Structure 1
């Protein structure tokens, strides 16, 4: 436990049940069923013939077979063990072993969970939503295009991923092969505050190395060093938005997302919005950001366990102020939120 009572574990934390977690690209559930693990529990998601999504615990109520191992039949997910079928909202539509007209037991129906589709991603809330899906206004701005990347599994706690993305003092040391080589190591005083759209974070300046081919493709500029005006802010529990503005007028918005699979494994995904002229293929643009992410992954997977919420367990300096504030906020969330009831439908 931390000094204020928050456990260093993520699995079994009631407050985390009531937050939103990205689990897949929209195209990954077409139609499904697809199984996922979030905070130590297994869930299944599928898409009906009409396109609507249903999420539930990945367990048939009959003999507890995983529904994600089944198949889709006539818009229903069919259990692989005895063929029970479940339609939109988790309603049991068929028990093959029962004669036609037999009443289906009420407990045969699945308890549907909250599921949303936004930014080309599928978001799951295991309980009653108390948190929010992060807001990205550029999603509705025709001058921006959205670029999605595949989900990755990282062997590191979601707490350490978020702590990393709230910090930029690691840039000159971790991102040496991409953009960090031109960044000063000394970090000026950082001022935390409320950013637009519900994020809590800070603004800062970065001198970015721009000598690689991938970097120049991403920035659309050929100067060796570029000035970036950036903001970084979080939405609890594990979402970070990083905005990058270049002097050319190009804006590059990243939504960096960590979903805890368990205490020490995570799904990682990021989404990008850009106001470029759309002429460069998405794959070429994303290659640079994927290389940056690979540098983060290589460093973070060397770190063991969940990042302690007890601030006295690690040493922090002034440049760590953003991640320290995020840790305090997460610890308060874990201590203060009460369990809720799961909905019967979305």
Structure 2
């Protein structure tokens, strides 16, 4: 009897674009860009679920359209803004800020007669990001960030990063505690203490919630930034997971100081994702101090990426039983997938 191949392992999975979790992604809000990257009077192209998205800020408000001219499919985002209109770079077709075609330079007599428009999408700004929905009635609201407007918190938004894996795989990696001693040995864990402590996971609104107390070393750099002289500190980690791809980790130190790490994984395709993130704290008040924290997170990402991109298949399996789960260690993963698949079933029945 032949041994099973990787393709055999994928047999329980439907093609990526037909998988129920991927189809469910269309029913959520997803970020496409940082708010600060879309400036007044300019256009930016984003990617979401295999679609090109045109973003434009006009009179302070961001609008989102399918980035495909109705004439011959060129990307209007490569064009220019003039007199409050979007102009395609290929043949100069012009659309107003509602997406309506208003000018055909080669056939001006058709202006007002040819009724076509750029497909417009719902678009909102929240937590320093521009969120887009490809459906008219998305599930829930774009996830917020309570500390984003806190005057005591100093935030930075590093450049987004693209991974060759599905958005749920990336999200699960963030909340997979049992990989710390192996992928991040002597940084986030040690192999002689690989056990994961019991932790409750519960639903709260459109979020999964869970908390952990973590005992960790406090090196000289952190002592100076934190103002804590102890060599070992116990930190309360509060997790806020908003479906389908947002995770916010709020770390509270013994002296009450706070550190926030906010990450959203947006599906650019079935097996690719774009990840936006913010880092903030009320103790690292200078860019130099925050740079130290950012460099640490970048080191963690560099260790995670090749491992997560090696997972097969890249997208989530459609069956919960297709992969194995270990009680306690995989409680968050199971709670996340169960809820996501419940919603996918609801969307299919609408």
Normalising TM by the smaller chain, what interval?
A: 0.7 to 0.9
Unaligned runs of 5+ in 2: 1-9
- Of 259, 263, 272, which aligns to 1:265? 272
Aligned pairs, number? 336
Q: What are the Cα deviations for residues 17-47 of structure 1, in whole angstroms up to 9, with x where unaligned?
A: 2211111112222244222221122221122
- The aligned counterpart of 1:160 is 169
Report the equivalent of 2:282.
275
| Deviation of the 1:168 alpha carbon | 1.3
In the TM superposition, 1:122-161 aligns within 5 A as 122-128=130-136, 129-161=138-170
Q: Measure the CA separation in 2 of the matches of 1:296 and 1:224.
A: 27
SS at match of 1:89: coil
How far the C-alpha of 1:15 sits from its partner, in A, is 3.1
Alignment of 1:208 onto 2:227: no
In 1, Cα distance between equivalents of 2:50 and 2:234 = 42
Extract unaligned runs of 5+ from structure 1.
341-346
| Cα separation, 1, equivalents of 2:70 and 2:244 | 31
Does the 8 Å CA contact 1:182/1:207 hold for their aligned counterparts? no
Aligned partners of 1:189 and 1:285: how far apart in 2? 28
**8 Å Cα contact 1:166-1:233 kept in structure 2:** no
- Residue of structure 1 equivalent to 2:71: 62
CA distance, structure 2, for counterparts of residue 296 and residue 13 of structure 1: 23
- Native 8 Å contact 1:78 1:86 kept in 2: yes
Name the CA distance, whole Å, in 1 between partners of 2:190 and 2:240.
23
**8 Å contact from structure 1 (residues 17, 125) kept in 2:** yes
Aligned to 2:108: 99
**In the alignment, structure 1 residue 174 sits paired with structure 2 residue 183:** yes
Answer yes or no: is 1:315 the counterpart of 2:313: no
Confirm or deny that 1:193 pairs with 2:202: yes
TM-score by length of 1: 0.85
1:289 equivalent among 297, 300, 314: 297
Q: SS state of the match for residue 180, structure 1?
A: coil
Cα RMSD (Å): 3.1
The match for 1:253 is 260
Do 1:10 and 1:262's aligned partners in 2 also have CA atoms closer than 8 Å?
no
1-structure distance, mates of 2:272, 2:225: 30
The question of whether the paired residues in 1 share the 8 Å contact of 2:103 and 2:111 is answered with no
Cα separation, partners in 2 of 1:173 and 1:165, compared to 1, 3 Å:
same
Partner of residue 330 from structure 1, selected from 319, 336, 340: 340
Taking a change above 3 Å as real, the CA distance of residues 235 and 309 of structure 1, as seen in their structure-2 partners, is farther
Structure 1, residues 183-206: CA drift from partner, whole Å, max 9, x if none? 9311122211245x7521211111
Q: Cα–Cα, structure 1 residues 217 and 183, in superposed 2: closer, same or farther, change >3 Å?
A: farther
- Partner in structure 1 of residue 235 of structure 2: 228
Map 1:11-50 → 2, pairs under 5 A: 13-30=22-39, 31-48=41-58, 50=59
Go from structure 1 to structure 2 and tell me whether the alpha carbon gap of 1:104 and 1:25 turns closer, same or farther (over 3 Å shift): farther
Name the structure 2 match of 1:114: 122
Q: Are the aligned partners of 2:226 and 2:283 in contact in 1 as well (CA < 8 Å)?
A: no
* d(CA) in 2 for partners of 1:22, 1:217: 35
- When structure 1 is superposed on structure 2, of 284-293 and 238-247 the one drifting more is 284-293
Higher relative contact order (CA 8 A, sep 6+): 1
